[in-house]
Amino acid sequence: MRSLRNNHYTLLFRLSFLLAIGAFVSTTTASAQSRRTAGDLQNAFREISSNVRPVVVQVNTVSVIDRRTINPFEFFFRFPGRPDQFEIPRAQPFRQEGLGSGVIVERRDNKVYVLTNNHVVEGVDEIEINLHDGRTFKGKLVGSDPLRDLALVYFETQDEVPIAVLGDSDEVWVGDWVLAIGSPLGFESTVTAGIISAKGRSGADRSFTDYLQTDASINRGNSGGALVNLDGEVIGINTFIASSDGGNIGLGFAIPINNAQKAIDDFIEKGSVEYAWLGVNMGDLSELLASELDLEGKKGAFVYNIYGKSPAMKADILPGDLIIRLAGRTIENSADLSRTVASLAPGESVPLTLIREGTILSLNLTLAVRTIERDGVEVNVWPGFSVAPITSQLREQMKISRNTGNVLIGGVVDDSPASALGLRSGDVIRSLNGKNVRNLKHFYSLLNSGNRIKIKINRMGNELDFILNK
């Protein structure tokens, strides 16, 4: 009996010993794997920093500001024939220095091209490019694009210069490790690490690009620098930070490199970026609009006006349409449509999908070139105003009776035919072509029924007639 008990204890001891050894080995293996994983990441950071820092440059700028000192007593003591008697000599021009970063993206013969932000070099008189290895060159502006905050400068050399490897920003995932490289506060070749915090961010009052958000530390001077993935590829151009005091709080934003690659070729070959143009005046679909037009749950860009002789007008896009797809891409809102059009090439034929009066329609159109005139007032726009339904709250505030009308003019496009006729914001639309407007959906149906519209409006109790030609 004692022998069996001893054998039992012996077996328990051996089993406990083996479990302890197994646990120790398992813990040791896991610890070793953890160390290897951390070591692999560390080695990756080292390799990326070594390879990419040479392609990121410091961009120093100077803006020469002319200053003139005025004698406050000059007016009282100026004598005829002696106009310069009390003039004080002109002061020396003030040299305002600026700082940023840039990425060497291409070389053609002796010209080496550096991509940076427009706000780094906008309006400056002198540009100096400082390379990682200490070489300094005089830079010259090739072209700039304030719509996307991009600019290209170049310097000339016959010597060897490293060129950045550009990645695919569409393949970036939220949570990916990234490094930000630049010259924050003048500390050149600074490397910080973080992750991609979000994609597709809007910001900085620019609708022609979206942004990659990162918590990699970015400060003043990082603008124009590189955001790099673990393959050492540049996947973004660091552009701005969100901060209440101007310092880093982990909210940095970079232009995706895919949004910049076409700009590089346009800058070199044309000196400026050529954008595609659709020719619509648009906005987001509000809950009220969606309810009035039976578009609840839908997303897209709502069309208010169509520019004359535009691709949109030629393709028969109409006011009141909701654009939901363009060139195979889903359109979430008006900013999304702007970015999508900006990413396409002028002259490109693309499919477009929209919703009109509850029906899904597929169209094809050929995009045109966006020009300065098309951003201004030299193009006719149809109908030249936006409308809104008259809610019960609005009726009470504006004292609009129910038999006055159901739709009013929200805004009028400056210098449009509607503006020239005298239509005003707040005018209540009673009828189009003799038919009383029942609601917003009915308004767009009547508006799109022809090219010549007779509009009867009520303005502060007075009824006025206008004729609007498309």
Write down which residue in 353, 375, 397 finishes a domain: 375
Whether pLDDT at 468 is above 60 = yes
DSSP-assigned states of every residue in 178-204:
EEEEE-GGG-TTEEEEEEEEEEEEEET
Q: Are residues 460 and 389 in the same domain?
A: yes
Whether pLDDT at 83 is above 80 = no
Q: pLDDT tens-digit profile of 424-447?
A: 999 999 999 999 999 999 999 999
411 burial via Cβ count (<10 Å: 0-12, 13-18, 19+)? middle
50 part of a folded domain: no
Q: Are residues 343 and 425 in the same domain?
A: no
241 part of a folded domain: yes
Q: Are residues 173 and 265 in the same domain?
A: yes
Q: Show which residues are catalytic.
A: 119, 149, 223
Whether pLDDT at 375 is above 70 = no
The residue type found at 234 is V
- CATH assignment of the domain containing 208: 2.40.10.10
Whether pLDDT at 72 is above 70 = no
Q: pLDDT tens-digit profile of 223-259?
A: 999 999 999 999 999 999 987 777 778 899 999 999 9
Q: What is the pLDDT confidence band of residue 398, given thresholds at 50, 70 and 90?
A: confident
**89-93, 125-129, 287-291: least confidently modelled range:** 89-93
| pLDDT (0 to 100) of residue 26 | 56
Q: What is the pLDDT confidence band of residue 12, given thresholds at 50, 70 and 90?
A: low
77 part of a folded domain: no
95 part of a folded domain: no
Percent of the chain's residues with pLDDT above 90: 66
Candidates 92, 146, 159; CA nearest to 119 is 146
Q: Are residues 235 and 294 in the same domain?
A: no
Q: Are residues 360 and 388 in the same domain?
A: no
Q: Are residues 417 and 333 in the same domain?
A: no
Long-range contacts of 135-139 (CB under 8 A, 24+ apart): 135/159, 137/112, 139/59, 139/114
Q: Are residues 203 and 242 in the same domain?
A: yes
Q: What is the pLDDT confidence band of residue 2, given thresholds at 50, 70 and 90?
A: very low
Whether pLDDT at 127 is above 80 = yes
Q: Are residues 281 and 366 in the same domain?
A: yes
Write down which residue in 244, 270, 296 finishes a domain: 270
**200-214, 272-286, 427-441: least confidently modelled range:** 200-214
Residue 7 DSSP code: H
- Please answer whether residues 142 and 267 qualify as being in contact, where contact means their C-beta atoms are separated by less than 8 angstroms: yes
**102-116, 284-298, 363-377, 447-461: least confidently modelled range:** 363-377
Candidates 147, 378, 156; CA nearest to 263 is 147
Q: Cβ contacts of residue 290 below 8 Å, gap of 6+?
A: 296, 297, 298
Angstrom distance (rounded) from CA 380 to CA 61: 42
Average pLDDT of span 254-283: 92
Whether pLDDT at 99 is above 90 = yes
| pLDDT (0 to 100) of residue 250 | 82
Number of domains in the chain: 3
Percent of the chain's residues with pLDDT above 70: 84
Q: Are residues 317 and 344 in the same domain?
A: yes
Q: Considering the entire predicted model, what is its pTM?
A: 0.76
Q: Are residues 353 and 412 in the same domain?
A: no
Whether pLDDT at 414 is above 50 = yes
Candidates 159, 170, 98; CA nearest to 133 is 159
Per-chain mean pLDDT for the chain = 86
Q: Are residues 430 and 394 in the same domain?
A: yes
155 part of a folded domain: no
73 part of a folded domain: no
464 part of a folded domain: yes
Q: Are residues 239 and 199 in the same domain?
A: yes
323 part of a folded domain: yes
**Residue 205 or residue 374, greater confidence:** 205
- Please answer whether residues 130 and 155 qualify as being in contact, where contact means their C-beta atoms are separated by less than 8 angstroms: no
**Residue 13 or residue 106, greater confidence:** 106
175 burial via Cβ count (<10 Å: 0-12, 13-18, 19+)? exposed
**165-179, 284-298, 377-391, 395-409: least confidently modelled range:** 377-391
- Please answer whether residues 191 and 179 qualify as being in contact, where contact means their C-beta atoms are separated by less than 8 angstroms: yes
Helix then strand then coil, % of the chain, to nearest 5: 25, 35, 35
Write down which residue in 270, 288, 318 finishes a domain: 270
Domain around 462? 383-469
- CATH assignment of the domain containing 426: 2.30.42.10
- Please answer whether residues 240 and 204 qualify as being in contact, where contact means their C-beta atoms are separated by less than 8 angstroms: yes
Candidates 258, 352, 270, 266; CA nearest to 314 is 352
Residue 69 DSSP code: -
